[in-house]
Chain A
């Protein structure tokens, strides 16, 4: 983002919102962190989360996410979505608990019995699944913890979306995937227009005294909206074409074929590698080696395909020390949790059967708190001027 113009600065209402920033931040130049840095940080933290079922650590991760978001979030529209990720996370936990209660996973004699749901007998051939029956505290707790882990991972992704502008994030896609990014961007901006179109047509239905509800009304609404959307997309395509979208680069026919072959082989390699890693019964060479070769081919394909399109980026995000620091925070935290050094792996997954208080192992705690350091390592974000409400 650019240095603010004088006009924009005064509209913020002060020399700079320095009052908002803590001491050290005041001296730092606000700028937007490279979106890739936030994504690496968040995905690494999500990876770390996948390692543990310890509710204490999971809550700590949530707190750290909250801290970093509180410190480095802007007021841009796309940055206001974290609460929806929280709602989603909560519903994940709730769904997990309810499912565990309904699809009884069995009650052991040692459990703390809570209540009993009506038991629905299942036929023999379906004996693997039980519906209803007694529900124990342990079952619910283990479901809740399991859900919490998933919820935490969701929140990590949500944090990345809150901290990094999704549209800028799409721009870092390699050249060969550029079309994908454009498709997403265009659909994001077209979606609100489609909603408006639907509202307009729905309102217009009354003018013809047509039905506004039911299946028959649907035709009267869908047909004009879709025709409208189709015409608009054709005009958009023409406009993009006229503005140079999809200009041929230096690619020749051979290089295009080579790109295709490389990508195909690379994808095969990635698939085989993933399969080999997950299924231990496959030959050894299908695991990491295939994955590595596949990744290599894919990278080569993307590089070659990227040359097809000659394009430059307007105001490319720089990658500086802060980006390295934020990404390193996340990666280090995940690495610490995976190395098992300095703590017992059992502490990451405390037992629910029998119930016992989870412990707070020192190294993982430190690792998660370390990820939180991104909150002050990242530069303060640029204040966003709030758009005035368009009176319409």
Chain B
């Protein structure tokens, strides 16, 4: 179906080619997972399939890419639209019309499909993706999952033989992501569409993959069956990692398989003392940095309040994860706590960092009442789109501006903070050219220049790969170790399992759960990380924790599994 024959892609602004001498074949009807860190050329590989690379992006492609017998050199993307359907990260970016039905018909209109056929295909696609009730709705009114399903439907109506999806769930919450992935697997199984899928959250898709294309980062592509490839990849979902450490064969790819393989492991761990998933927090001695009571947020013209009477208490040295589906009021709560967002009701008291100690409560202030400069010294917030804060031409200028804005005596300059968070960023780089993780680090450094005691991050894990997430965890652990209170709103349960000491779950603007991470997420079917699912009812959250647990029990994980693995 798809053939890459000695393909090398070289962009004009880089020295090294992005892809070097790639040779691969994807058979008809395969679900092919593209795996690799950010910036190793996944998007280039996917773009080359329908000719966006190099027709749209520029650069030079050596070798030949053939899709369904058509050479992309002679066929620009528009001429391949009937063969390859492409779905991007943010569905809103690709919408051309404004209602569901018209969006579904758009590609067919371009392909000059007869009206009668078009009508039939739209109805079929509506049913296939469960969109029939939404047919007349405006695209902007839909939820993220619905939007992404419409985006998939809108390329499906053209009946392509190949579907290319570039991180289709990275902008979605877990429920919506599940919805979209379910739709994709159904397409593979029912329609026999060849699917090329790049995805960060491997834990959700790895079990469905027929073939994995791994990009190690040197420009080459390794192709093979998942169980084989994941033995050696640098990135892998927790369930695979657990299997790798336990040396299970065949390597389990789903929670189901792993759970069956893990029975002896569970027995061995039962009764052993459970190590903490997180470095211990000396919470008893830590001061309360933020105290919020009855915080309500209600926007003008909306009957339902975004946040309803939320009580939040943040202690220094503690990392809190704020979870909940999209629209449950997480952002509104964070903005209200920072003081820049609307707050209809309630009180927020923040103790200035450093002033903690005896009688600190007296010096506490409400960030909503003080000036913006004051407020950011109390609470620093990194918004959902960090680039909203960046407007200068270089990293150096941004950092200098941050120092000028914050004006904290004796504090470390922003450059120093950035080097600690993410070393090696060139000061002359344009902020927009940084990777997502680097942008996040830059904005975080800018906010930390004001030395706030409370740091809030609104969905920082969007678009980050495993490595970047691990780095973020390290950064946040560092901040907590300095005695700051950190809050992260996120959908990523695996990230929460590694990063958070405490989890707060919100629904419809109310706080429905608040407690230690292990207590809140292990019990939840939605929020439980994979390791917890595999080892349930034992309250293990991460692979490291399980390793440690076994070490404490006296056996290495690998040895324990050796006997049970049937080698």
Tell me which residues across on chain B come within 8 A of A391, comparing CB atoms: 302-304, 327
Counting chain B CB atoms within 10 Å of each CB, the highest count among A219, A312, A389 belongs to A312
Assembled-state Cα–Cα distance A120/B364 (Å): 64
B102 contacts A by Cβ under 8 Å: yes
Q: Counting CB contacts under 8 A, is B318 at the interface?
A: no
Contacts of A236 in B (CB 8 A): 93-94, 96
Does any Cβ of B come within 8 Å of A241's Cβ?
yes
B376 x A208 contact (CB < 8 A)? yes
Knowing A208-B405, A224-B388, A316-B115 touch, does A243 contact B372 (C-beta < 8 A)? no
Please give, as numbers and ranges, the residues of chain A lying within 8 Å of B405 by CB-CB distance.
208-210
Contact B132–A390 (Cβ < 8 Å): no
Could you tell me the distance in whole angstroms from the C-beta of B391 to the nearest C-beta in chain A?
4
Tally of contacts, chain A with chain B, CB under 8 A: 183
- B295 at the A interface (CB under 8 A): no
In the complex, per-residue mask of A235-246: 1 if CB is within 8 Å of any chain B CB, else 0: 111111111111
Cα distance A5–B341 in the bound complex, in angstroms: 42
Measured CA separation A390–B326 after assembly (Å): 12
Segment at the interface with B among A131-139, A196-204, A256-264 = A196-204
B25-33, B133-141, B551-559: which lies at the A interface? B133-141
For the complex, give the distance between the alpha carbons of A236 and B112 in Å: 21
Whether A241 and B78, one on each chain, are in contact in the complex, defined by CB atoms closer than 8 angstroms, is yes
Question: B14-22, B60-68, B79-87, B286-294: which lies at the A interface?
Answer: B79-87
CA distance A331 to B227 in the complex (A): 73
Report the separation of the CA atoms of residues A302 and B82 in the bound assembly, to the nearest whole angstrom.
Answer: 27
Closest B residue, CB atoms, query A225: B388
The answer to whether B52 and A241 have CB atoms under 8 Å apart is yes
User: Known contacts being A243-B154, A244-B81, A387-B141, is A227 close to B115, with CB within 8 Å?
Assistant: no
Contacts of B84 in A (CB 8 A): 242
**Cβ of A316: which chain B residues have Cβ within 8 Å of it?**
115
Q: Assess A235 versus B338: contact at CB under 8 Å? Given A208-B376, A312-B114.
A: no
Asked if A119 is an interface residue, CB under 8 A from chain B, the answer is no
Specify which chain B residues have a CB less than 8 angstroms from the CB of A312 in the assembled complex. Answer: 108-109, 112-115, 118
**Is B158 within 8 A of A314, CB to CB?**
no
* Partner among A5, A193, A207, A235 whose Cβ is within 8 Å of the Cβ of B389: A207
Please name all residues of chain A whose beta carbon is closer than 8 Å to the beta carbon of B85 when the two chains form the complex.
242-243
A207 touches B77 (CB 8 A): no
In chain A, positions 233-287 with a C-beta closer than 8 Å to chain B are 235-248
B97 interface residue (CB < 8 Å to A): yes
Q: Which size class do B's interface residues fall under?
A: 35 or more
Stretch at the interface among B170-178, B200-208, B379-387, B419-427: B379-387
Distance in angstroms from B30 CB to nearest chain A CB is 21
- The residues of A that contact B233 with a CB separation of less than 8 Å are none
Segment from A16-24, A184-192, A373-381 that makes contact with B: A184-192
Q: Does A108 contact B (CB under 8 A)?
A: no
Q: A220-B391, A232-B93 are in contact. Are A389 and B302 (CB under 8 A)?
A: yes
Is B98 a contact partner of A189 (Cβ separation < 8 A)?
yes
Interface flag for B155 (CB, 8 Å) = yes
* Choice from B94, B97, B383 contacting A207 with Cβ under 8 Å: B383
Partner of A238, one of B56, B373, B406: B56
Q: Verify if B445 is at the interface (C-beta below 8 Å from A).
A: no
CB under 8 Å from chain A, chain B span 341-361: 341
Q: Which B residues are CB-close (under 8 A) to A238?
A: 52, 56, 77, 88
Beta-carbon contact of B140 and A192 below 8 Å: yes
Distance from B97 Cβ to chain A, minimum over Cβ atoms (Å): 7
Is B395 located at the chain interface by the 8 A CB criterion?
Answer: no
Contact assessment for A311 and B371 in the assembled complex, using a CB-CB cutoff below 8 Å: no
Cross-chain contact of A314 among B102, B341, B402 (Cβ < 8 A):
B102
On whether the beta carbons of B90 and A235 are closer than 8 Å, the reply is yes
Distance of A219 from chain B, by nearest CB (Å): 6
B50 at interface by CB-CB < 8 Å: yes
Expressed in whole angstroms, the minimum distance between the Cβ of A166 and any Cβ of chain B is 11
- B82 shortest CB reach to chain A, Å: 7
A74 to B133, CA, bound (A): 20
| CB of B512 within 8 Å of the partner chain | no
Q: CA separation between A391 and B507, bound complex, in Å?
A: 13
Contacts of B302 in A (CB 8 A): 389, 391-392
Taking A227-B432, A314-B102 as contacts, is the C-beta distance between A244 and B115 under 8 angstroms? no
Task: Choose one: A5, A220, A387; the contact of B137 (CB below 8 Å).
Answer: A387
Instruction: Scan B312-341; emit 1 where CB is below 8 A from any A CB, else 0.
Output: 000000000000000100000001001011
Q: Provide the bound-state CA to CA distance between A7 and B133, in Å.
A: 8
Query: Is residue A360 contacting chain B, with contact meaning CB distance below 8 A?
Result: no
Instruction: Give the interface centre of B50, B77, B90 by most chain A CB atoms within 10 Å.
Output: B77
B129 within 8 A of A: no
Task: List residues of A whose CB falls within 8 A of some B CB.
Answer: 5, 7-8, 167, 182, 185-186, 188-189, 192-193, 200-201, 203-204, 206-210, 219-221, 223-224, 227-228, 232, 235-248, 310-316, 384-385, 387, 389-392
Given contacts A206-B372, A392-B299, 18 further A-B contacts (CB under 8 A): A7-B133, A207-B380, A209-B375, A228-B385, A235-B93, A238-B56, A242-B52, A242-B78, A242-B86, A244-B111, A246-B110, A311-B109, A312-B118, A313-B115, A314-B115, A314-B118, A387-B138, A392-B327
- Can you offer 15 A-B residue contacts whose CB atoms are under 8 A? A182-B96, A189-B97, A235-B90, A238-B52, A239-B86, A241-B52, A242-B50, A242-B78, A242-B84, A242-B85, A243-B86, A244-B82, A246-B78, A310-B112, A390-B141
